[in-house]
Amino acid sequence: MFSFNNICKILPLSAGLLLVGCSDFLDRESDSYINKQTTFSSYERTAQYLTGVYSLLPEGLNRFGSNAMLGDATDDAEFVIESSNIQKFNLGAWNAIDNPDDQWNRFYAGIRKACEFIESADQVNLDSYRLDPQSQIEYNNRLKDIRIWKAEARFLRAYYHFELLKRYGPIPVVTSTLDLNGDYENTPRPTMKDVVDFITKECDEAANDLELTPWRNVNDALGHATKGAALALKSRTLLYAASPLYVAFGDINEANKPSDAALWKAAADAAKAVIDLNQYQLADNYGDLFKNDFKNKEYIFVRRYTANTNLERSNFPVSFGGEGGTCPSQNLVDDYEMLDGTPFDWNRPARAAQPFVNRDKRLEATILMNMASFKNRKVETFPGGADASPVPNATKTGYYLRKFLNEDVNIQTGGSSSGHVVPLFRLAEIYLNYAEALNEYDPTNPDIAVYLNKIRNRASLPNVPSGLSQEQMRKVIQHERRIELAFEEHRFWDVRRWKIASSTLGAPVKGIQIARKPAGGFTYQPVEVEQRVFQPKMYWYPIPQSELLKLTKWEQNNGWN
């Protein structure tokens, strides 16, 4: 690491130069870096520096206060601890100064590191190999390593731009280093197209140099970007860019949902390009996919965590030593279909009497219900049960999270702890991207059903009904994304880009009221748990107030003034 006297250069685009602000986050790191030449003359230290670029990838799982998840700020869940900063989203108590998910500094730090790496990696001194006739194979291998590393850094730079874009809208595009003392006060804001075009171009260029699999030591390189990762990022970026919220940036009126067939076609083509790599396949079992199976062929790009018990300690039911944590909502539970493909309906007495029987298999893999088997005994969320109120930190909704948890771990001793895998891209998402984009510009295309059915059939569900209208298929696709990608940080963004957040994020969160029957068994009734607040301005995050003081020609995002 080294001392920065410069940050990142802005990219001249059609809208003019694009600014990057200097943040305290960057300044605070400066003293920890050693000399730049010392870093990048060494092959080993250069490799270590790339690891530092990766370290700023999005955190998944329990990254908010008190170990809350982003899903707790959606209609999919409620977090048990009221003092967690995630509750600010739910109460509408956030702004340009206090944002629980303000990632501006983090991702610009990642961009800066990626810029520095791309510019400096070719300085690695390989003379000891180049001049040795016996080391020519290793010399050429290391040259290839450096070329691939630079492509990985380019991918990461694009990824960090996308993470900023989906939060704040069009943001400064950074491509190289620039003197810290430059004056960019009058720089105009780029357009949505400017930023999307930059990200997708970066993805294409990175994909050209990346390989389908890590080419040297596969075990050491797991978690590094591949060609599939770059193309998957392009797929997600173009899907978002075609969505109503992005097509008319700044229009936060939910009645206006513009659509552009050319944008949807580009998104469909990008998703199909990933599929056509023929490098990935759906896992046989949905539940097993989230049990630290980082080598699973469904994964395209993941973030891995070393063995620990933090996630389990935060989310195990309270009688199992956990803190309750993320409590899935009745809103989400109700959306899981019956195994025959029909919707669950509380108005059908037989189903209401046994609401967890004969449901989509992803329900049991994702959520712990009352009397679910867990660690060789039952979860008790009924009144008076070991996992129910008034036990401290007991579930607010009647449900606990199961997805991602290692059930074998002993929270008290740490025994049987394992790592965790956060899927940043997996094949099921790409199938859903493809189906959604196709439905918007070519709604009769048979591939829509083909790829939806691949996902549904894994969950033992029947095929999508034939003869659906475009709007009906749109609802099916939105439903499948919610269920398939639950708690993988998609719902929070999907309902925004679709411009349906008032009726989802703004709807009351529900739970289940359970009562014992005198003759045995239980009755179940949905109940309201919490009122939620969503205002149209919340479709985009406010630009941090500290940045607007530098970006004097920029206006705050619509509604946050």
77-79 and 400-401 beta bridge pairing = unpaired
To the nearest 10°, report the CA torsion of 69, 74, 76, 80: 50
| CATH code of the domain covering residue 46 | 1.25.40.390
How confident is the model at residue 417, as a pLDDT?
Answer: 85
Q: Token pair for residue 327?
A: 């409590």
Q: Which domain holds residue 139?
A: 36-69+82-252+540-550
- Per-residue model confidence as pLDDT tens digits over 153-190: 999 999 999 999 999 999 999 898 755 666 667 778 99
- Per-residue pLDDT band for 30 (boundaries 50, 70, 90) equals very low
How confident is the model at residue 60, as a pLDDT?
Answer: 82
Calpha distance 291→397 (Å, rounded): 25
Is residue 22 scored above 60 in pLDDT? no
Same domain, 223 and 317: no
Is residue 13 scored above 50 in pLDDT? no
Q: What is the mean pLDDT of residues 383-395?
A: 97
> How many Cα atoms within 13 Å fall on the side-chain side of residue 186?
0
Same domain, 420 and 451: yes
- Per-residue pLDDT band for 224 (boundaries 50, 70, 90) equals very high
Closest of 48, 60, 167, 39 to residue 108, by C-alpha: 167
| Rg (alpha carbons) of the chain, rounded to whole number | 24
Q: What is the mean pLDDT of residues 195-205?
A: 98
Same domain, 100 and 217: yes
Amino acid letter at 28? R
How confident is the model at residue 179, as a pLDDT?
Answer: 58
Angle 165-167-170 (CA atoms, 0-180°, nearest 5)?
A: 35
400-401 and 174-179 beta bridge pairing = unpaired
Calpha distance 230→210 (Å, rounded): 8
Domain assignment of residue 232, yes or no: yes
Dihedral sign from CA coordinates of 22, 28, 31, 32: negative
- Mean pLDDT over each residue of the chain, to the nearest integer: 92
How confident is the model at residue 536, as a pLDDT?
Answer: 98
Domain assignment of residue 489, yes or no: yes
Q: Is 375 left (phi over 0), alpha (psi -120 to 50) or beta?
A: left
Domain assignment of residue 215, yes or no: yes
Same domain, 354 and 226: no
Calpha distance 158→243 (Å, rounded): 19
Same domain, 185 and 210: yes
8 A C-beta contact, residue 170 and residue 192: yes
Same domain, 485 and 349: yes
How does 449-468 read in b/e, with b if 16+ C-beta sit within 10 Å?
A: bebbbebbebbebeebeeeb
Same domain, 232 and 323: no
How confident is the model at residue 220, as a pLDDT?
Answer: 67
Q: What is the mean pLDDT of residues 75-96?
A: 98
How confident is the model at residue 272, as a pLDDT?
Answer: 98
Around Cβ 16, how many Cβ atoms within 10 Å? 14
- Per-residue model confidence as pLDDT tens digits over 110-152: 999 999 999 999 999 999 999 999 999 999 999 999 999 999 9
Calpha distance 14→259 (Å, rounded): 23
Calpha distance 486→455 (Å, rounded): 14
Same domain, 171 and 40: yes
How confident is the model at residue 186, as a pLDDT?
Answer: 77
- Per-residue model confidence as pLDDT tens digits over 479-488: 999 999 999 9
- Per-residue model confidence as pLDDT tens digits over 316-346: 999 999 999 999 999 999 999 999 999 999 9
Calpha distance 154→207 (Å, rounded): 10
Calpha distance 237→303 (Å, rounded): 19
How confident is the model at residue 512, as a pLDDT?
Answer: 98
Who contacts 138 (Cβ-Cβ below 8 Å, separation ≥6)? 129
Point out which residues pair with 308 in neighbouring strands.
Answer: 418
8 A C-beta contact, residue 494 and residue 437: no
- Per-residue pLDDT band for 302 (boundaries 50, 70, 90) equals very high
Calpha distance 109→170 (Å, rounded): 18
How confident is the model at residue 2, as a pLDDT?
Answer: 24
Is residue 31 scored above 90 in pLDDT? no
Same domain, 351 and 224: no
367-368 and 522-530 beta bridge pairing = unpaired
Point out which residues pair with 526 in neighbouring strands.
Answer: 512
Q: What is the mean pLDDT of residues 419-438?
A: 97
326-328 and 174-179 beta bridge pairing = unpaired
Same domain, 457 and 370: yes
8 A C-beta contact, residue 341 and residue 360: no
Instruction: Count structural domains, the chain.
Output: 2
- Per-residue pLDDT band for 37 (boundaries 50, 70, 90) equals confident
How does 105-131 read in b/e, with b if 16+ C-beta sit within 10 Å?
A: bbbbbbbbbbbbbbbbbeebebeebee
Same domain, 545 and 490: no
Q: Token pair for residue 391?
A: 């036990």
How confident is the model at residue 5, as a pLDDT?
Answer: 29
Closest of 161, 145, 149 to residue 56, by C-alpha: 161
8 A C-beta contact, residue 46 and residue 121: yes
Point out which residues pair with 377 in neighbouring strands.
Answer: 374
> How many Cα atoms within 13 Å fall on the side-chain side of residue 473?
28
Percent of the chain with pLDDT over 70: 92
Calpha distance 136→133 (Å, rounded): 6
Closest of 155, 122, 142, 124 to residue 53, by C-alpha: 155
Domain assignment of residue 281, yes or no: no
Calpha distance 533→91 (Å, rounded): 5
Q: Which residue bears the tokens 């700020």?
A: 73
- Per-residue pLDDT band for 527 (boundaries 50, 70, 90) equals very high
- CA–CA distance from 377 to each of 121, 144, 424, 442, 554 (Å)? 54, 53, 33, 50, 58
- Per-residue pLDDT band for 413 (boundaries 50, 70, 90) equals confident
Domain assignment of residue 165, yes or no: yes
Q: Token pair for residue 232?
A: 């998957």
Domain assignment of residue 76, yes or no: no
Around Cβ 79, how many Cβ atoms within 10 Å? 27
Domain assignment of residue 257, yes or no: no
Q: What is the mean pLDDT of residues 418-427?
A: 93
Domain assignment of residue 56, yes or no: yes
Who contacts 62 (Cβ-Cβ below 8 Å, separation ≥6)? 68, 69, 310, 311, 314, 315, 325, 326
Same domain, 234 and 353: no
